[in-house]
Amino acid sequence: MQNRNHTSDVLIIGQGIAGAALALFLQRAGIDSAICEARPSNENAEGYFLYLAPNGMNVLRDLDLGAATRDGAIHTTGIEFYNRRGRRIAAMDNSGDTAAYGAAGVVLKRARLHRVLRDTVRDRAIPVHTNAKLVHLEQRSDAVEARFADGTTRSAALVIGADGIHSRTRSAALPDAPAPAYVGLVDSGGFASVPHLRDMVGPQRMVFGRRAFFSYTVHPSGEVYWFSNVPVATEPERGTLERIGAEGWHAHLLHLHEGDPEPIREIIGRTPPHAVDKWPLRDLPTLPRWHAGRVCLVGDAAHATSPSSGQGASLALESAMMLAKCLRDEPDHQSAFQRFEASRRPRVEDVIAQARRNGNHKIPNPVAGVVRDMLLPVFLRLGAREARRTHGHRIRWHDTRPRARNEQRDSTTGLREMEA
């Protein structure tokens, strides 16, 4: 393929949740961007489901996408925790979230959230280049040149890595950054049609099973969204999980949940084996820096949490909004990146650490389990304030810091001057 050069103000690497949201907020700020996505098509139906917390929903509401996202999602009423014998040991009620935070959390398919964002990017005429897998970055004094797997290059005033937990942008711009860390659990999940469970619509149910942790949430249609977290002490080597095969893993899950309360095995049994994927869970507790020169990271590329926080997508949305806001308000890209990192780092690192602690509780231990059964309601009550802080976090798009009169934008970033 011909090697061509293209120029834009901001080049976003990755059209996942963070990349798409960032492009939309940048457009609102009057900053031109283009997205380069490694996948061959925009029609990305991959992934299972995720919880979008009130704080994430509020970011989507700011993009006028709240209603579109809630449509078809599961409107949960809370979380119920059960022990291995099926006894309910604790519960969290979310029914007051709309009144408390302005938005309630939902459980929805990742593909659905991705489609809402991706279609909006398309409708707002933001350029997206698919089949554009970043392989290399070269920083110059006035621009960054990005090279892609097909040999093409693009240059931009700024490059933002929104390319997920295994970010190539991160390894190119911050070569000393630590790799993601395995958290001791292999995740697995799927969707099953179990119409007779329709009357269980409401809470997410979490079960501390005998050998693995299981969660399920019922859609009003009778489709059940479920996952199982399987403790595996050391990270499986590359290829190990794939070699087990779909039928073998499905049988393994049924075995692991033997003796656990129904409908766990019924749900697994009603899921076609080929539709049950498995992957080691990793996080990225801290990075020395989130930016270098004209390159900055956002979303999982900067701060991946394990799903045990229920905050991965919500934090990615918040960070996308905050980064766009900083680029809008600060006089140059250095101060924008610094302010962005300083404002986000404490919050996201707190959530990632909390997710680690939550994940450790999922590793079965009969003795500790008895103590957990007794203390979980107490922990939940004590953790309520932390949950309120996490869910109540709100970034205000319009509360700009007053700009000094003589403050100038960096003439080399190419960012357009904006209305305040």
Ligand X SMILES: Cc1cc2nc3c(=O)[nH]c(=O)nc-3n(C[C@H](O)[C@H](O)[C@H](O)COP(=O)(O)OP(=O)(O)OC[C@H]3O[C@@H](n4cnc5c(N)ncnc54)[C@H](O)[C@@H]3O)c2cc1C
Using the minimum distance from each CB to ligand X, give the nearer residue, 84 or 393. Answer: 393
Cα 344 from chain centroid?
Answer: 15
Alpha-carbon gap, residue 271 to 260, rounded angstroms: 17
Minimum CB–partner distance for residue 34 and ligand X (Å): 12
Contact of 251 with 315, CB cutoff 8 Å: no
Q: Which residue is nearest to ligand X (CB)?
A: 16
Using the minimum distance from each CB to ligand X, give the nearer residue, 59 or 90. Answer: 59
Instruction: Give the Å distances, CA to CA, from 187 to 40, 59, 118, 234, 241.
Output: 26, 27, 26, 14, 11
Contact of 231 with 184, CB cutoff 8 Å: yes
Total interface residues for ligand X by CB under 6 A? 30
According to CB under 6 A, which one of 6, 28, 39, 210 is a site residue for ligand X?
A: 39
Using the minimum distance from each CB to ligand X, give the nearer residue, 47 or 364. Answer: 47
Contact of 193 with 223, CB cutoff 8 Å: yes
The kind and range of the H/E element at 147 are strand 144-148
Using the minimum distance from each CB to ligand X, give the nearer residue, 34 or 89. Answer: 34
**Residues 338 to 367: which contact ligand X by CB under 6 A?**
none
Note the maximum CA span of the chain: 70
Using the minimum distance from each CB to ligand X, give the nearer residue, 46 or 71. Answer: 46
Q: Does 138 bind ligand X (CB under 6 A)?
A: no
Minimum CB–partner distance for residue 291 and ligand X (Å): 16
Return the closest-CA partner of residue 376 out of 235, 208, 238: 208
Q: Does 168 bind ligand X (CB under 6 A)?
A: yes
Instruction: Tell me the per-residue interface mask from 298 to 317 with ligand X, x by CB under 6 A, - otherwise.
Output: -xx------x----xx--x-
**Residues 87 to 116: which contact ligand X by CB under 6 A?**
110
Using the minimum distance from each CB to ligand X, give the nearer residue, 260 or 318. Answer: 318
Minimum CB–partner distance for residue 19 and ligand X (Å): 6
How crowded is residue 419: how many other Cβ atoms within 10 Å of its Cβ? 6
Using the minimum distance from each CB to ligand X, give the nearer residue, 34 or 313. Answer: 313
Alpha-carbon gap, residue 291 to 295, rounded angstroms: 6
Cα 331 from chain centroid?
Answer: 29
Backbone angles phi, psi at 218, to 5 degrees: -105, 125
Return the closest-CA partner of residue 42 out of 67, 23, 57, 27: 23
Backbone angles phi, psi at 197, to 5 degrees: -90, 5
Minimum CB–partner distance for residue 5 and ligand X (Å): 18
According to CB under 6 A, which one of 8, 10, 11, 15 is a site residue for ligand X?
A: 15
Alpha-carbon gap, residue 380 to 377, rounded angstroms: 5
According to CB under 6 A, which one of 162, 206, 253, 256 is a site residue for ligand X?
A: 162
Minimum CB–partner distance for residue 49 and ligand X (Å): 6
Q: Does 163 bind ligand X (CB under 6 A)?
A: yes
Instruction: Give the Å distances, CA to CA, from 258 to 24, 59, 61, 68, 266.
Output: 47, 41, 42, 39, 11
Stretch that binds ligand X, among 126-134, 236-244, 339-347, 351-359 (CB under 6 A): 126-134
Minimum CB–partner distance for residue 279 and ligand X (Å): 9
Instruction: Tell me the per-residue interface mask from 180 to 219 with ligand X, x by CB under 6 A, - otherwise.
Output: ----------------------------------------
Instruction: Give the Å distances, CA to CA, from 365 to 83, 206, 368, 373.
Output: 12, 16, 5, 12
Contact of 158 with 150, CB cutoff 8 Å: no
Tokens coding 19: 């990349």
Minimum CB–partner distance for residue 355 and ligand X (Å): 11
Stretch that binds ligand X, among 159-167, 173-181, 353-361, 408-416 (CB under 6 A): 159-167
Q: Does 283 bind ligand X (CB under 6 A)?
A: no
**Residues 47 to 76: which contact ligand X by CB under 6 A?**
47-50
Q: Which residues touch 395 (CB under 8 Å, ≥6 apart)?
A: 59, 318, 321, 322, 325
Which residues of this chain interact with ligand X, rule CB under 6 A?
13-19, 36-39, 46-50, 110, 132-134, 162-164, 168, 299-300, 307, 312-313, 316
